[in-house]
Chains A and B, each alone.
Chain A
């Protein structure tokens, strides 16, 4: 069983919809990361958080350490948000990644 589980695996939304991607983990962590992988393959870090909530533009990330759960929300989704979103947990040098959620936003 993977230490990091994401749901859903695939998500299709209409432009403007509110989107939520979930991440659950089974190990003790020091920080949790959300990454975005573009259709061309490049990987960009969106957030790193160890508690509470962070917001950047239309993206919001939350984490509940006690429940070992994090969510990534996208408000007012847009076709350019179409990408694979990856959750990862870190402890020391090591990072463990979820398999990713493929998001497609249709106009």
Chain B
């Protein structure tokens, strides 16, 4: 199994509060991704990173920001959580881009925004 951990694994928070999710990898892979998974929508890309301090937006980036100050850590921040951000969040990693290689997924974080 790829060495990917996510923290926290479960979180309940209130609307308007900031939330930060952490993805940590021990594989030294260059690419890291944040997805959200909602019923009926499948996985959707929020943000991705192609190196330290190099990030870009995905399909559903509004309301989210990311940071990558070290190869091994990719943080996802909800500046002011809303109920529409209740979801399961998955981090993924890959050594090269998704055309050349599969992605390896973390265990997921369940976030409930009340």
Binding site for B on A (CB under 8 A): 2, 4, 30-31, 33, 35, 41-45, 48, 86, 88, 90-100
Contacts and interface: CB of A to CB of B under 8 A. Distances in A.
A45 B104 contact: yes
Contact of B98 (A41, A86, A90): A90
A48 B101 contact: yes
Contact of B40 (A30, A95, A99): A99
A33 to B, nearest CB: 6
Given A4-B42, A93-B56, A97-B43, A43 B99 contact: no
Q: Is the interface of A mostly helix, strand, loop or mixed?
A: strand
A86 B103 contact: no
Contacts of A91: 99
B97 interface: yes
A92 B99 contact: yes
Contact of A31 (B33, B59, B90, B98): B98
Interface in B78-114: 88, 90, 97-105, 107-108
Among A30, A35, A43, find the residue whose CB has the most chain B CB atoms closer than 10 A: A43
Nearest to B88: A41
Contacts of B33: 95
